[in-house]
Copies of this chain bind each other. A is one copy, B any other.
Amino acid sequence: MQLGLIGLGKMGGNMRDRLREAGHEVVGFDRNPDLSDAASLEELVGKLQAPRAIWVMVPAGVTEATIDALGALLGEGDIVIDGGNSRFSDDGPRAEKLAESGIGYIDAGVSGGVWGKQNGYALMVGGSDADVARLMPIFESLKPAGEFGFVHAGPVGAGHYAKMVHNGIEYGLMHAYAEGFELLEKSELVQNVPGVFRSWREGTVVRSWLLDLMDNALTADPHLDELKGYAEDTGEGRWTVEEAIRLAVPMHVIAASLFARFASRQDDSPAMKAIAALRNQFGGHAVTKS
Contacts and interface: CB of A to CB of B under 8 A. Distances in A.
Interface of A: 88, 111-116, 119-124, 126, 143-144, 146, 148-155, 157-158, 161-162, 165-187, 189-192, 195-196, 198-211, 213-214, 216-218, 221, 224-233, 238, 240-266, 268-290
B122 A203 contact: yes
A45 to B, nearest CB: 29
A260 B272 contact: yes
A153 B194 CA distance: 9
Contacts of A144: 202-203
Q: Give the 9 A-B CB pairs with smallest separation, nearest first.
A: A172-B176, A208-B208, A229-B272, A122-B203, A151-B199, A252-B256, A229-B269, A148-B202, A178-B274
Given A179-B169, A249-B262, A275-B231, A151 B192 contact: yes
Contacts of A172: 172-173, 175-176, 179-180, 253
Contacts of A124: 196, 199
B259 A198 contact: no
Contacts of A88: 189
Nearest to A290: B228
A21 to B, nearest CB: 17
A181 B253 CA distance: 13
12 contacts: A122-B202, A155-B191, A158-B187, A179-B250, A182-B274, A210-B278, A227-B280, A250-B259, A252-B256, A253-B256, A253-B257, A260-B272
A276 B230 contact: yes
Contact of A282 (B189, B201, B213, B264): B213
A169 B272 contact: no
